[in-house]
């Protein structure tokens, strides 16, 4: 679950280069609502990692796999 959330967040930033942190947070909170029983876990991942994910995703050389692996949200 954390890997999916992280990857989706990075992809959102990469697909919406002008997005603000608040826009990303809102979009990802809506996505958390689709995870039913994992909604709480999704929100915890956002609260803990979203700022870092957002900042790193602004860097053009960073990829979803590198960002999410470096933050221990996906297996390398």
22 lies in a domain? yes
21 lies in a domain? yes
pLDDT band for position 75 (50/70/90)? confident
pLDDT of 76 reads 60
75 lies in a domain? no
Number of compact structural domains in the chain = 1
pLDDT of 30 reads 94
Q: CB of 42 within 8 A of CB of 31?
A: yes
Domain extent, residue 8, equals 2-70
Show the CA angle centred on residue 11, arms to residues 45 and 40, nearest 5°: 20
pLDDT by residue (tens digit) across 12-55? 999 998 899 999 999 999 999 998 899 999 999 999 999 999 99
Q: Where are the alpha helices (DSSP H) in the chain?
A: 2-15, 21-32, 39-57, 64-70
Q: CB of 53 within 8 A of CB of 67?
A: yes
pLDDT band for position 64 (50/70/90)? very high
């Amino acid at each position: 679950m954390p890997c999916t959330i992280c990857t989706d967040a990075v992809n959102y930033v990469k697909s919406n280069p002008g997005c603000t942190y608040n826009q990303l947070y809102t979009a990802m909170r809506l996505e958390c609502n689709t995870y039913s029983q994992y909604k709480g876990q999704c929100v915890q991942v956002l609260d803990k990692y979203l700022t870092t994910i957002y900042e790193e995703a602004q860097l053009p050389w960073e990829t979803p796999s590198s960002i999410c692996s470096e933050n221990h949200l996906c297996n390398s």
